[in-house]
Amino acid sequence: MTLFLRWGLPGAVVVACVGYLIYSASGGAAEYYVTVSELRAHAPAGDVRVAGVVQDDVQKSDGLHVMFTEKDGTASMPVDYRGTLPDIFKPGITVVVEGRLGTDGIFHARSLLAKCPSRFSTQPYTS
């Protein structure tokens, strides 16, 4: 009984606190990670992250504002983003945009990440 009161109870309290912190934080901070077609099918509420390929219609109005179309296999959507672009940003690469789809049908991105072309390999060599 003393063993439980001295060690078990405080231990259980710590474990419960960790559990509560994880539960409450993931409720508020988790975002859906979807493809363009999934977003088109049913858009989850709140901010989402959408992965897709940048198409050829990239328009830069000044150094920081960019509009382009993001597409996966079947669906596409226009993206509007203001901020610094990753170094490797260009048509053909896969990007992950974070933000929400506006009522105007345009995805307003808060952040834009490029998928790095892997640290472990560039392109497999085929001769």
Report if residue 45 touches another protein, rule: CB under 8 A: no
Residue 2: burial class (beta carbons within 10 Å; 0-12, 13-18, 19+): exposed
Report if residue 28 touches another protein, rule: CB under 8 A: yes
Q: Which is nearer to another protein, 76 or 94 (CB)?
A: 94
> β-strands 76-82, 107-114: how paired?
parallel
Q: For another protein, what does the binding mask look like between residues 98 and 117, x meaning CB under 8 A?
A: x--------------xxxxx
Own/partner contacts of 18-24, CB < 8 Å, gap of 24 or more, are none
Yes or no: say if 71 and 52 are a contact pair by the CB < 8 Å rule: yes
Residues of this chain that interact with another protein (CB under 8 A) are 2-3, 6-7, 10-11, 14-15, 17-18, 21-22, 24-26, 28-34, 38, 44, 49, 51, 62-64, 82-85, 87-88, 94, 96, 98, 113-125, 127
